[in-house]
A and B are shown apart, each in its own frame.
Chain A
């Protein structure tokens, strides 16, 4: 193998390892776990999967995963139990009690329950990232901080149980980053592939915004702003260009801090825009944004700010007045 190829491959391996396994704080991953599973639990709590088991077999159009694994749709009574165990696992994963087992159950039952509706005529896409995030957490040590398990360990073993920075706390977060980047990129590429520049410069986007007003989505648009946008061609073209630009360029967030600072908030605004203007419900996808927050730094900043405020307050306070001297009469 030529030397330059060896050097290049060596550098690539080093970058790969740094990206995934750079030591990171347990706190960031612990908070991601707590917030992600907590929001997912609250979101899924009112959802009932049992009725899927009541539909006639004409509705059953299994997707690849269910066909390959020969997964059936269970009877409603079974689904009631499966979802009860799943929701309990989500709650335990959030609070961090029996965390590793809970996250494993949350992932395995989650992939079945979240995948189940897609066997009924349409594959929707708001939960794929949730599946990937749950899978990464199920294999991780996300319960080492901000969890009941960590509290119990601290009581039993004392402060020595506080985890140090480790490569174990970085890769699950990066996994969600990569999955999100792939999803955005794929969506952008689909538009280039099927429509090209016409997706931006034709009336297509304006007509799509209007069509979405006719109750044809899994959720109706939260506003009628889509009609307003459709009436201004320049605005529709600008938003279409922004959408396809954000999607296609999103993988840059994996390599550049500057790109991250711009594209990550833009991606979130883009999803909120879809909900407001077009309807599709990407709330579960948005939950995965917790993995972009550098929680350890946020908490350090808040603590420092709070300490600074306390010091300033103490300095501003007038010195306490001396108590009046009492004259003690002796004798």
Chain B
């Protein structure tokens, strides 16, 4: 191997190691480098809150959108976290209303493409829900508390 190529490759190896070491040492994230913090915190609380989208049919029934199929390419981890970040901003409510409108449009697109078998929706609501963690997780569909954050209707 030529010396120039070997030097270049050594720089690449150094970049991988130093980039990773920087994120690990500073506990920061610069994708594709990361400190990989998933599940690293100690969870003590017997309750937790989450943001959940709920569809509303024409006759007023509610359908919890608790499957990735309804919200692709988002998933049930990324979408609530994105919405939470929006809510934490000054104009959070307005931002979230725009975002939920987008989610409703996407739900109908996916339905039209037969990517899920959900019913047509007249509206979509965003709730903040709270669960007490059940030893059997039997209350998944019955949160202990919920608070309406926004509702958007079909145009």
Contacts and interface: CB of A to CB of B under 8 A. Distances in A.
Contacts, number: 186
- Interface range, B side: 35 or more
A49 B31 contact: no
B77 A217 contact: yes
A207 B106 contact: no
Contact of A280 (B38, B86, B135): B38
A183 B31 CA distance: 12
A20 interface: yes
Interface in A96-140: 111, 115, 117-118, 120-125, 127-128, 131-132, 136, 139
30 contacts: A51-B106, A55-B102, A61-B82, A65-B31, A121-B79, A121-B81, A121-B85, A123-B34, A128-B33, A136-B12, A167-B1, A178-B16, A178-B17, A179-B20, A187-B38, A189-B35, A190-B36, A193-B40, A194-B41, A199-B42, A207-B45, A208-B39, A214-B50, A214-B140, A216-B77, A218-B77, A218-B78, A224-B137, A227-B135, A280-B38
Interface of B: 1, 6, 9-10, 12-13, 16-17, 20, 23-24, 27, 29-46, 48, 50, 66-68, 72-86, 95-96, 98-99, 101-102, 106, 109, 131, 133-137, 140
Contacts of B39: 191, 208, 278
Interface residues of A, number: 72
B3 to A, nearest CB: 12
A120 B76 CA distance: 13
A214 B36 contact: no
Contacts of B32: 65, 111, 115, 127-128, 131-132
B146 to A, nearest CB: 13
